[in-house]
Amino acid sequence: MSSQASIRKWGPHKLDAAIEQRLQRLAKAEGVARIAVMPDVHLAGDVCNGVVVASERLIYPQCIGRDIGCGYLTVRLREQHIDETIAARLLAGLYRAVPNCKRSVAVTPEFDIELSAAPLQKVFSREGRWQLGTLGRGNHFVELQRDQEEQLWLLIHSGSRAIGQAISAFHLRDAETDSASGLKFLDADSIAGEHLLNDLQWARQYAAANRLAMLDAIERDVLSKLDFDVHRNTMIHLDHNHVQRESFGERQFWVHRKGAQRLLTDQQSIIPGSMGTTTYAVAGRENEDALNSCSHGAGRSMSRKEAAKRIPSKTFRREMNGVWFDKRNSARLIDEAPSAYKNIREVMKSQRDLVRIVEKRRPVLNFKGR
């Protein structure tokens, strides 16, 4: 019987009982040595979002999540004034340039590895080729932001779309079940484990290519027509759903991150709040107690179902004051309202030993697919 993993937590409040229960169950999983809980932790399936898990040999797909490689791409734009007319043209252009489901033309990206199984290759041919350059739904978004010097930034948040979920489901079918935690695992040294790791890396490449394809389309079909120049040399591009081999002193672990970012010393990234609140540009502090990780956002304070039921439309409109978005989607966006998320200021205070704040950026225009 394996010993229980250590758990380190960052956050301003006592965690809900349901979160604690999942953490304690995770700590009993075979081969799990360390767990770091980020301040944006919240319920999401069998393993919470905002959790980092270090294991010695076993890979736990549920500790990565189904949207493998989900992440952020941000880049600075040439300064432009945005008024109501420009905002309307931007939103209309984004609807044309960034589909939420699939594109009208299939694309076959070139990666340095191939998917391990014919069924996954079929999913890629049927869906993945058509979804490259698409946003998806939920909390995925495109946003324009201004920093404290009034410079304009573009932020894209999306992942590996249907193919990432297919990869997760495919390998979970072959996984063993850990008796202590009930979670599924594969041995990294087995043939099945090697295939899993190959496909996880493929999905990360696909997710990164997806965000870059959206940037290309937005620049070509929207921004260039409105004289917004993209300064690609300012690009920051990181994901927050992955597993990779990392060293800590003389020990090596498979580090799983589900809704958490890896940041080494002075490495740059961003931590968004919500569609109506501040985004923080940050630099890493490489805190090994946190497995060199930080939060990927504010984290939900209530489920989507609860938010849709509890948050009045007038509250949502008030919270979005000063941010352009498609008001026709207001009813559908209630579950993404700022009040459905934790207070990003408190989240940032809780991880002062994980990241250094470089600057703040306020939302100007937010786009979510419908």
Domain boundaries along the sequence of the chain: 6-367
Q: Please give the helix or strand (H or E) that residue 33 lies within, else none.
A: strand 32-42
pLDDT at 370: 63
Q: Are strands 176-177 and 184-187 parallel, antiparallel or unpaired?
A: antiparallel
Q: Please give the helix or strand (H or E) that residue 256 lies within, else none.
A: strand 251-258
**pLDDT cut 90: percent of the chain above it:** 96
**Confidence class for position 2, pLDDT limits 50, 70, 90:** low
- What top-level class would CATH report for the domain 6-367? alpha beta
Pick from 149, 157, 158, 156: nearest CA to 75: 156
pLDDT surpassing 60 at residue 180? yes
**pLDDT cut 70: percent of the chain above it:** 99
Query: Is residue 368 a known part of a binding site?
Result: yes
- pLDDT per residue over 244-280, tens digit each? 999 999 999 999 999 999 999 999 999 999 999 999 9
**Confidence class for position 319, pLDDT limits 50, 70, 90:** very high
pLDDT at 334: 96
Query: Is residue 142 a known part of a binding site?
Result: yes
Query: Is residue 367 a known part of a binding site?
Result: no
- pLDDT per residue over 103-159, tens digit each? 999 999 999 999 999 999 999 999 999 999 999 998 999 999 999 999 999 999 999
Is 242 known to be catalytic?
no
Find the mean pLDDT for residues 209-222.
Answer: 98
Catalytic residue among 42, 171, 242, 296: 296
**Structure tokens belonging to residue 44:** 């999401």
Query: Is residue 241 a known part of a binding site?
Result: yes
pLDDT at 3: 80
For 76, 229, 235, 269, 364, the CA distances from 79, given in Å and listed in that order, are 9, 8, 16, 21, 13
- The residue type of 246 is E
pLDDT surpassing 70 at residue 336? yes
pTM for the full model? 0.97
pLDDT at 79: 81
- pLDDT per residue over 88-103, tens digit each? 999 999 999 999 999 9
Find the radius of gyration of the CA atoms of the chain: 20
Pick from 113, 270, 122: nearest CA to 196: 113
- pLDDT per residue over 36-94, tens digit each? 999 999 999 999 999 999 999 999 999 999 999 999 999 999 988 999 999 999 999 99
Q: What distance in Å separates the CA atoms of residue 331 and residue 333, rounded to the nearest whole number?
A: 6
